[in-house]
Amino acid sequence: MKRSASILSLDPELPMAPQAMAAGPALFSLHDVDLHYGPVRALRGIGLAIHAGERVALVGSNGSGKSTLLRVLHGLLAPTSGTASCLPRNRQALVFQRPHMLRTSVQNNVALGLWLRGMKWRASRQAALAALARVDMAELAGRNAKALSGGQQQRVALAQAWAMDADALLLDEPTANLDPHAKREVEALMQEFAQPRAGRTMTMVFSSHNLGQVKRLASRVVYLERGRILADLPVDSFFNGPLPEEASLFVKGEKI
């Protein structure tokens, strides 16, 4: 998936590291990507390469461009300028902050994604049941998905993503708005889903405001501020090394 192009060099002053060290071709590669919503510049000069097996956390204040960046990676938004070369959408899955459940059973909600990707309906329903068992929700398969709690709906969304057998899992603040118990459950599933599956490495990109979660789940942290990447570091360096002032304030909790 390639989108239009004019490549400029990245700022050499920015704290950057891991993409250069990772082996193999990048699953996601953005060069000087700008994205405008009318007069608002949501992303500015984004350069980012994500390789197979990485667990990348996108952090930053509200409105910093995390969700927009995830949508560009998923192919839901096209850059206004720059180049985005991403894994095809049918090989990745995106879990939304507030997943919408259709007015039908939990099982049908999970099966729908598979059916839309070409699987027969009956087989989709069977695969959905297996995926629901994976998130410990098989007993709720016949329930109306609308009637589930926020945490349960998020687990259904994870089951849907799991059922798709994708190479990359993208998650947009998956534990925001959840109570602590549901947060722990969803986080445990994320951790499980990030493990290699049938010999294939899983790549995970997620946005989060929860720095503890970032420490627990990520191998690399990308800090965004007003649509720009200000830091892109391995997780240890991000939390222990020198950072630009804005990122440092964010880590100290003085910037929300």
Partner 1 sequence: MNTLAESAVTALRLITSFDPVLLDIVRLSLAVSACACLLACAGGLVLGAWLGVARFPGRGAVLTLLNTMLALPSVVVGLLVYLLLSRSGPLGFLGWLFSFKAMVVAQAILVLPVVTALTRQVVEDAERSHGEQLRSLGAGTFMRGLLLTWDERFALLTILIAAFGRAVSEVGAVMVVGGNIEGYTRVMTTAIALETSKGDLPLAVALGIILLAVVLLLNTLITLVRRWRERRDAGMAGWLRMPDLTA
What is the C-alpha separation between 72 and 78, in angstroms, rounded? 6
**Residue 147 DSSP code:** G
In the range 73-92, which residues lie near partner 1 by CB under 8 A? 74, 76, 89-90
Is residue 209 within the footprint of partner 1 (CB under 8 A)? no
Binding partner 1 by CB under 8 A: which of 5, 10, 52, 112? 112
Other CB atoms within 10 Å distance of the CB of residue 41: 16
Binding partner 1 by CB under 8 A: which of 36, 117, 215, 216? 117
- Least distance from partner 1 to the Cβ atom of residue 75, Å: 9
- Least distance from partner 1 to the Cβ atom of residue 55, Å: 20
Is residue 96 within the footprint of partner 1 (CB under 8 A)? yes
Q: Over the range 195-227, which residues count as b (16 or more CB within 10 Å of their CB) and which as e?
A: eeeeeebbbbbbbbbbbebbeebbbbbbbbbeb
**With respect to partner 1, which residue has the nearer C-beta, 19 or 160?**
160
What is the C-alpha separation between 42 and 162, in angstroms, rounded? 30
Is residue 121 within the footprint of partner 1 (CB under 8 A)? yes
Computed on alpha carbons and rounded to an integer, the radius of gyration of the chain in Å comes to: 18
Binding partner 1 by CB under 8 A: which of 99, 151, 174, 227? 99
Other CB atoms within 10 Å distance of the CB of residue 17: 15
- Least distance from partner 1 to the Cβ atom of residue 40, Å: 18
Is residue 102 within the footprint of partner 1 (CB under 8 A)? yes
C-alpha distances (whole Å) from 1 to each of 30, 94, 112, 171, 175 are 11, 16, 24, 20, 29
**With respect to partner 1, which residue has the nearer C-beta, 29 or 67?**
67
**With respect to partner 1, which residue has the nearer C-beta, 140 or 211?**
140
In the range 138-197, which residues lie near partner 1 by CB under 8 A? 142-147, 160
- Least distance from partner 1 to the Cβ atom of residue 255, Å: 28
**With respect to partner 1, which residue has the nearer C-beta, 205 or 231?**
205
Binding partner 1 by CB under 8 A: which of 21, 62, 103, 199? 103
Size of the site for partner 1 (CB under 8 A): 31
155: left (phi over 0), alpha (psi -120 to 50) or beta: alpha
- Least distance from partner 1 to the Cβ atom of residue 86, Å: 13
C-alpha distances (whole Å) from 7 to each of 15, 25, 74, 121, 134 are 20, 18, 20, 44, 43
Other CB atoms within 10 Å distance of the CB of residue 104: 13
Q: Over the range 133-155, which residues count as b (16 or more CB within 10 Å of their CB) and which as e?
A: ebbebbebbeeebeebebbbbbb
**Site residues (CB under 8 A) for partner 1?**
71, 74, 76, 89-90, 93-94, 96, 99-100, 102-106, 108, 112-113, 115-117, 120-122, 142-147, 160
